[in-house]
Structure 1
Amino acid sequence: MPTYTALTTLPGKAKAEALGEAMEALTPEPYGVGVFEIEDDSGLWEVGGYFTEAPDEAGLALLATLHEARPFAVSELPDVDWVAKVKRELAPIRAGRFYLYGSHDADSVPADVEPLLIEAAMAFGTGHHGTTQGCLRALDRLATQGVVAEKVADIGCGTAVLAMAAARIWPGVPVASDIDPVAVEVAEANLAANGMAGRVTCLEATGFDHEAIHAGAPYDLIFANILKGPLIDLAPDVTSHLAPGGHVILSGLLNEQAEAVTAAYVAQGLAQVEAEQIGDWSTLVLKKPI
């Protein structure tokens, strides 16, 4: 079955969300519409629709004009079994003591690692992205230095791979939250697949806005692997939920965005411990003074 995409950009969240909503009334209708901020400090948002039939290009042109967006770029994607393709191309990843793999690579797991099974179909963070690797490597270094975090929160958890990694090496029950209910379901499925049901508490929440997250504070370690804008916005909440002497591991950042995010957390009184770059992406570790 062919898949068609129709993509455009325009400035401003409100305009982008309005265009995304209007696209849902098209005929043929899209089976999915996405609205995303482009994290390059341009202020632009991307709006995309996904179709199983060729979209109405005249209708798209009218919507672009009405919503002051760039003309839609319409493409037909090749008929590919994407999960099978991902399984072939995503090799296992080693990040410090952690080894991330799919079930098709189960026979490759070394004996001297903390294994984490993340299936290719779980699209919210397989561990191959430099941001996830950076967070896992930072976690490994903290543990090697003797840090033991009894209370851990993973904000914007996706697959919950970071919370699972913490639960593998420390005895507590981390909290993992995400704004997307599908991500929460994926996180719970990953826990079950790893024989870790009950070892992480998975919640649907925006940032720290959940009574269970408040109740678990203060945290010895907080992960936030999201985007520059939300990370800066969350700086006061992260700091207020962090225990004295606690650490925060931040990622989801392009290298050129790291300085601005670091400044936001230093302004809250945290001290930078380290920064690592993996390709185009940065991971930051900061600590709250005792």
Structure 2
Amino acid sequence: MIQSRISLRLDAPEARRIYIMLEALFEDDGYAMSHFEVESDAPGPNQWSIDIYVPKDAIDEVLARLTDRLGSDALGLQFNQEDVEDQDWVALSLEGLKPVSAGRFFVHGAHDTARRPAGAVSIEIEAGQAFGTGHHGTTAGCLEALEDLLRRRSFQNMFDLGTGTGLLAIALAKACHQPVLASDIDAVSVKIASENALLNRVANWLQIIEADGMHHPAIRDNAPFDLIVANILAGPLMQMAGEIGGQLAAGGSLVLSGILDEQADRVVAAYIARRLRLQRRASREGWTTLTFHAAL
């Protein structure tokens, strides 16, 4: 079956914002989408490409919806269109991704199993429909923050909010050999995270639930946590500052990401207002990861 690929190029901050907007727009249609950096030898920052794969006979309707949804954002944007043979575009794109190393953590696909370093905490994540393969600056930034924390202390009761593929929860279970509660608002993500837990042989350590934010009996029953990781978006992180901070144990650690560099100061302010102390702040590829500490 012939499909059409619609592509548009943008700078990094705008690309992320518009990608999230278009994900929501086409959520019920099931169209495959990708969002990746395009390397260039030209001076200045690299641009990002957003690609949407749609049936050829739906191209006019999709372009009209795109233009209507983007509104003034569509001004100056050029939509490139080409016909392509139907394939599993998510799987094909991830097959070309290189493994990611962050401290002791090594994230890879099945095609790179033989490249696992001796002694590394190896996490296998395959192509899927959920966010989080380790290659995005937010996920890699969280792994680096966790490595920094695990060099200095241990954890016994951990929670991964917005788990996506389950990568961060799997990393914690493998590194700590302790129970991890993980949640996601999306049922598909919960299914994929559960499959990845089995693939990585940590299903017995993980409890993965479908939950909207912090509202679930399992979260309430397992709190307070000595470590919470939340790799979502700056807006929800600020809105849930009180709820997240309220479920963190005295002396606990909190790792937040999904935050554009220019949003970081506002997120920091929201959590400092909850009497948490900023312990670490790091930027990777335009995204900030924050680590907070709760006083004893």
Q: Where on the TM-score scale, by shorter chain, does this alignment land: which range?
A: 0.7 to 0.9
Q: Tell me how far 1:64 sits from its aligned partner.
A: 5.8
Q: Secondary structure at the match of 1:54?
A: helix
Distance in 2 between residues matched to 1:59 and 1:136, nearest whole Å: 37
Q: Secondary structure at the match of 1:252?
A: strand
* Further displaced range: 255-264 or 73-82: 73-82
Distance in 2 between residues matched to 1:60 and 1:105, nearest whole Å: 38
Q: Tell me how far 1:164 sits from its aligned partner.
A: 1.1
* Mapped pair 1:96 → 2:83: no
Structural mapping, 1:147-166, within 5 Å: 147-166=153-172
- Cα distance change of structure 1 residues 59 and 250 upon mapping to structure 2, 3 Å threshold: closer
Confirm or deny: 8 A CA contact 1:177 1:203 kept in the other structure: yes
Q: TM-score scaled by structure 1?
A: 0.80
- Cα distance change of structure 1 residues 190 and 62 upon mapping to structure 2, 3 Å threshold: closer
* Mapped pair 1:117 → 2:128: no
Deviations 1:212-251 (A, max 9, x none): 0110000000000011101111110111000001010000
Alpha-carbon RMSD across the aligned residues, in angstroms, is 3.1
Distance in 1 between residues matched to 2:245 and 2:99, nearest whole Å: 34
Distance in 2 between residues matched to 1:265 and 1:33, nearest whole Å: 36
Q: Secondary structure at the match of 1:237?
A: helix
The equivalent position to 2:229 in structure 1, one of 223, 239, 243, is: 223
* Mapped pair 1:51 → 2:54: yes
Distance in 2 between residues matched to 1:169 and 1:55, nearest whole Å: 47
Confirm or deny: 8 A CA contact 1:116 1:194 kept in the other structure: yes
Q: Secondary structure at the match of 2:182?
A: strand
Confirm or deny: 8 A CA contact 1:20 1:33 kept in the other structure: no
Identity %: 37
Alignment-mate amino acid for residue 279 of structure 2? V
Q: Tell me how far 1:106 sits from its aligned partner.
A: 0.8
Unaligned runs of at least 5 residues, structure 2 = 9-13, 15-20, 34-50
* Mapped pair 1:277 → 2:283: yes
Deviations 1:49-74 (A, max 9, x none): 75212326379648966x79457957
Q: How many residues align?
A: 262
Distance in 2 between residues matched to 1:132 and 1:59, nearest whole Å: 31
Distance in 2 between residues matched to 1:56 and 1:77, nearest whole Å: 10
Q: Secondary structure at the match of 2:288?
A: strand
Confirm or deny: 8 A CA contact 1:4 1:74 kept in the other structure: no
* Mapped pair 1:177 → 2:179: no
Alignment-mate amino acid for residue 291 of structure 2? V
**Moved segments of 4+, more than 6 Å:** 6-9
- Cα distance change of structure 1 residues 190 and 33 upon mapping to structure 2, 3 Å threshold: closer
Deviations 1:101-155 (A, max 9, x none): 111111111112111111133542111111111111111111111x111111100
Confirm or deny: 8 A CA contact 2:183 2:190 kept in the other structure: yes
Distance in 1 between residues matched to 2:234 and 2:65, nearest whole Å: 33
Partner of 1:133: 140
Partner of 1:45: none
